[in-house]
Structure 1
Amino acid sequence: MKNLHKLYFLLIAVIIFASSCEDITEINEDPNRPTEVPVEYLLTSAERQLGNRLYGGFDNVAFGMTVSQYWAQNEYSDETRYQFRANTNNTFWSDFYTAINDLQEIKTINRTIDKGQQGVNQDAVATILQSWAYHSMVDIYGDIPFEEALQGTDIPSPAYSDQQEIYTALIDSISSAVAAIDPSAPGFPGGDVIFGGDLSKWQKFGNSLLLRIGIRISEVNPGLAETTITGAASGAIASNADNASIQYITAQPNVNPLFVSYVVNGRQDYCATENFVGLLTGLSDPRIGEYFTPAASTGTFEGLPYGVTSAVAAGISRDAVSQLNPQVYAADFPGILMDYMETSFILAEAAANGWAVGGTAETYYAQAITASMNFWGITEAADIAAYIAANPYSEENLKVQKYIAMYYQGWQSWAEIRRMNLESVDAANLVDITDIEVFVDVTSVLKRRIYPQNEQTLNGANYSAASSNIGSDAYSTNLFWDID
């Protein structure tokens, strides 16, 4: 009997050991740290990262919306006087590249799995959003790491690529991505906070991005601009329902970043500029009430002078100037990447150049203003028609109306101010920067953002080469498409 007990326990031990050997690798696997991230998680991460940086309190707000002269600062007015925070610039750069790398990781993972057309669709979406991010970075800085970017430890200090060559590469990659998408096949099973997985809208976004890139180079390479725009025009965003936007929600942490700044943190630091209010009131523009609230002390729209010192700004009561309409910092207010208004203005400009885009400059111009009005809740057709009649199409009016309509999209508005040389258009009512005591050496609206300090420290040789290639790492250095 004793021997039978020994045999029984020996058999149990053998079974346990065999079972343990079969699954021995599971011992070293941490279920909380998966080795492969589902691609939809990477897409969500990239979209949120880009949205939070684009609309963050120290990016679109303290740089984009102030340098575009829409917003002044109630106090601490350093940014309107061009004294920017170095750490903010470092974070903007690194977070954009983190998001770009997440999108690249989607394509890396898909190379290891045969997903058929679904994998092709996912790669195309990742490419379009990557291209949007790269294009944004080029239009902010100039030359940036591109060809050697995202190589990890293989190339820890990437060289910068020429900004004009990046533009050409982006046109090719976006065009290929748009053509590769098959909307009838699966894409991302979830995680898309821009279009909810609608592949046809990703195609429209890609085509619209080609329009934006094309119009930016229209003065330096009109031939490439024309072919790019005419090839993409029919497939671009064609209604506000197609707008490419980060769809924020009312639940933390997936809220509009401005909500965090204004409501959660209580930092209501921005108000209307005097010059922008003067432009809107001079045109009796109905959007003024959607952009701002009347000054509490007067019941009229009043702006704060742009570029005053912190002491002067702090001495002006907040009740004396128009504050932001609360809708722009609502938790679920969308973060626009590109919209119907912008595509319509681009097509109006292309039509004025004589390019075959399927309509006239006047038609697209009216369409653009209508799209902007509708987005901001102004829907009375007769009122819109009267406004357009009072501000009919002309080259100058197009520039001014596009500037008004691009409110809240500070980064893109700044790019268009530079491209259209808007500071020289008196009707735009921009402040003459040369009359303001600022902290950097500029002679007009800033031409670019200087490179982050971390690049100077951690990638010094390539930073120096890039600075030399663009002319100088200075706020006053023109990008290649800015030839005023």
Structure 2
Amino acid sequence: MKTFKYKLIAVATLCLGAVSCDTDYISDPDNPEVAPTTQLVNNSQFDLAFNLNDQWLAGRGTLGFSQYWGGTFYTDENRYQLRVSQINDFWNDPYRILTDLKEVIRLNEDPATADLMSAYGDNNNQIQAARIMMAYAFSKLVDTFGPVPYWSYGQKDNADFQALRLDEGINSPKYTSDEVIYDDLLNELQQAANMMDLSKTVFTEGDTFCNGDAANWVKFAHSLRLRLAAHLNSVNPTLAQQVYAESADKALMSNSDNISFTFGTDDLTGGPWHDAFTVGARRDFAPTVSLMDLMYNRVGPFSSINDEDPRVDQFFDTRNDTDEIIGVPYGFGDTPARNVIDEGIPDVEIIKPDFVQPIIEFAEIEFIRSEFEGWDQTHYLNGVEASMERWGVASSDASSYISALPAATEETVLTQKYLALYMDGMESWTEYRRTGFPMTLSVPGDTYDYEVENEDGTTQTVTATFTTLIPGLNEIPSRVTYPQNEQLLNKANWEEARNTLSDGDQMFSKIFWDVN
């Protein structure tokens, strides 16, 4: 897995204005003992955007679970047999990022370093931004595994929140209930937004998410609250509605507010799909049949529309200059996948180095507003329009498509939300688990017919069945199992967490909000 490393700027060069430089921290200017918080934040944002969306966690994981992409050659992951290294990365990458973000907080609170860090932004605002990013990272852990070791700034003295406390001698942390974590994440985001000083800079540089603007960080926090509220809407509608009322008018209001990460223009700083397709010369990912059938309106709630979804040309390119992308069957094994000729590849805009990775976008927030306001038509259409605009669809094509859409219903809103979440496989997977939409995904037990050529030149139809490789798993996974190291190194706490899950540490155990 690619890990991006930034060259740390010598602290000696960053002693600006009234900020005094403690020589204890710059005894070796080429190897500063204290990293600038802007570097820690920039590296954390890069890793959140890259490592959680690369060819391993997304391409062979969540983009597959969501059936945006399927494997054209290696298909075991399409049948949910994840590699040990993938499961480890689902766990280790967020915790490594969280460690850096906690360090940002420490550097801004510690009297020995706070003045030095104030050169990189307001101390208080840096802390609040770190809390928001930590909430984002912890939400990914919870939505992947369920109960996990947890820590938060607002309850840093909570004895049951034992993650990230190795410096205190806690190397076998307890797991916290996924429901308890959700409650605390909502509070963390609310407090961080309320404590952000809009008159001061957050970070002087290195902040790709929000460009150092406190108002943008507030919108980010409230948008994440809306996302979490949507996850809770079926299991705790009272709390979900309360959060919606508190945050709906403070969240993203246009595509100009989108929270995203734009990668660099070279091989070192480029995005995960440039790394996979160009640097690594991968050719084993393609759109799925289920997605192509939906976008060409062959199935689903938009089948009354004559023309295809205009985003299809922004999402994918054909391999062989064909008029229509077929897609690969997902979950049916190697032979059917390898039998497809014109399966398509991700569009050049996705493979280019400076791909813009979505973190949370206005279109998603509009669909959430539609849901909470009784499947509101205006927010529904706004969401579709925002997605079209974000992907560069010509306004005339977007208008033609939108004018033909059926009215807002649970199915139409959530299916359009699925399309708008393209390239955010983890969030789309969460949406499917909590809602069951879109209803067009292939599921275990489905069959797929394909033609094969015999040695004599004749053809025959062969039927494949979607079967998983995980005993007892007869559905799209509800979670990822805990890493094996947790069973070895943190066994007592792992066993306690396993016993709280509906079916133990299995891919078919439900996370608390999954009541679909």
TM-score when scaled to structure 1?
Answer: 0.88
| Partner in structure 1 of residue 429 of structure 2 | 414
Q: Distance in 1 between the 2:476 and 2:90 partners?
A: 21
SS in 1 for 2:482: coil
The partner residue of 1:104 within 93, 102, 105 is: 102
| 1:238 has 2:253 as partner | yes
Aligned residues: 447
Question: Aligned partners of 1:76 and 1:310: how far apart in 2?
Answer: 7
Alignment pair present for 1:482 and 2:514? yes
2:198 aligned partner: 183
The yes-or-no answer on 1:345 pairing with 2:367 is yes
1:342 and 1:378 mapped to 2: Cα distance? Answer: 17
Q: Distance in 1 between matches of 2:25 and 2:35?
A: 20
Name the larger-Rg structure.
Answer: 1
- Contact 1:294 1:302 (8 Å CA) reproduced: no
Aligned to 2:444: 433
Match runs of 1:166-181 below 5 Å:
166-181=181-196
Q: What is the CA-CA distance between 1:382 and the residue it aligns to?
A: 6.8
Q: Which moved more, 1:437-446 or 1:110-119?
A: 110-119
User: Is 1:328 aligned to residue 375 of structure 2?
Assistant: no
Query: Within 2, Cα distance between the matches of 1:365 and 1:297?
Result: 34
Counterparts of 1:108-127 in structure 2 under 5 Å?
Answer: 108-113=106-111, 118-127=122-131
Larger deviation: 391-400 or 172-181? 391-400
Q: Give the aligned partner of residue 473 of structure 1.
A: 505
> Is 1:448 aligned to 2:479, yes or no?
yes
SS at 1:76 equivalent: coil
Shift in Å at residue 453 of structure 1?
1.5
2:451 is aligned to none
Q: Which moved more, 1:248-257 or 1:366-375?
A: 248-257
Paired residue for 1:133? 137
Check if 1:253 corresponds to 2:268.
Answer: yes
The Cα shift of 1:391 comes to 2.5
Contact preservation (8 Å) 2:40, 2:100:
yes
Separation in structure 1 between the aligned mates of residue 325 and residue 48 of structure 2, nearest angstrom: 33
Once the two structures are superposed, residues 325-352 of structure 1 have per-residue CA deviations (whole angstroms, 9 ceiling, x without a partner) of 1211211111111000110000000111
Contact in 2 for aligned 1:347/1:364 (Cα 8 Å): yes
Structure 1 spans left out of the alignment, 5+ residues: 1-24, 354-360
SS in 1 for 2:193: helix
Amino acid corresponding to residue 293 of structure 1 in structure 2 = D
Equivalences for 1:287-366 in 2 at 5 Å?
Answer: 287-294=311-318, 296=320, 298-317=322-341, 320-352=342-374, 361-366=376-381
Identity among equivalent pairs (%) = 30
Q: What pairs up with 1:388-403 in 2 under 5 angstroms?
A: 388-403=403-418
Q: TM-score, normalised by structure 2?
A: 0.83
More helix by share: 1
Q: CA deviation at 1:157?
A: 0.8
Distance, in Å, in 1 between the alignment partners of 2:91 and 2:189 is: 22
* 2:93 pairs with 1:95: yes
For 1:197, what is the secondary structure of its paired residue?
Answer: coil
Deviation at 1:97, TM superposition (A): 0.5
Q: Which has the higher contact order (CA 8 A, sep 6+)?
A: 1
| C-alpha distance in structure 1 between counterparts of 2:321 and 2:204, whole Å | 52
The letter for the 2-side match of 1:421 is G
The residue identity in structure 1 corresponding to 2:468 is V
Residue of structure 2 in register with 1:149 after alignment: 163
| Structure 1 position 84, deviation (Å) | 0.8
Give the structure 1 partner of residue 492 of structure 2: 461
Select between 470-479 and 155-164 the one with higher mean Cα deviation. Answer: 470-479
CA distance change for structure 1 residues 299 and 381 in 2, over 3 Å: closer, same or farther? closer
| Post-superposition offset of 1:274 | 1.0
Amino acid corresponding to residue 36 of structure 2 in structure 1: P
After superposition, where does 1:210-225 map in structure 2 within 5 Å?
210-225=225-240
**Corresponding letter in the other structure for 2:419:** I
Contact 1:237 1:339 in 2 (8 A): yes
Question: How far is the alpha carbon of 1:458 from its aligned partner?
Answer: 1.7
Q: Partner letter of residue 132 of structure 1?
A: Y
| Counterpart for residue 40 of structure 2 | 42
- The alpha carbon displacement at 1:266 in A equals 0.2
Distance 1:382 1:64, change over 3 A: closer
Offset, 1:290: 1.2
In the TM superposition, what is the alpha-carbon distance from 1:443 to its structure 2 partner? 2.2
- Residues 330 and 337 in structure 2, CA contact (< 8 A), matched pair in contact too: no
Contact 1:148 1:155 in 2 (8 A): yes
Letter of the 2:473 counterpart:
V
Unaligned runs of 5+ in 2: 1-22, 151-160, 303-307, 447-465
Q: Which moved more, 1:400-409 or 1:337-346?
A: 400-409
What residue in structure 2 maps to residue 10 of structure 1?
none
More off after superposition, 129-138 vs 377-386? 377-386
Seen in structure 2, the aligned counterparts of structure 1 residues 28 and 233 have a Cα distance that, compared at 3 Å, is closer
Paired residues of 1:434 and 1:442 also in contact (CA < 8 A): no
Q: Is the 8 A contact 1:217 1:225 kept in 2?
A: yes
State the Cα RMSD in Å: 2.0
The code of the aligned residue for 1:137 comes to L
Q: 1:159 to 1:286 in 2, by over 3 A?
A: same
Secondary structure at the counterpart of residue 70 of structure 2? strand
Task: Quote the offset at 1:306 in angstroms.
Answer: 1.3
Could you say what secondary structure the match of 2:199 adopts?
Answer: coil
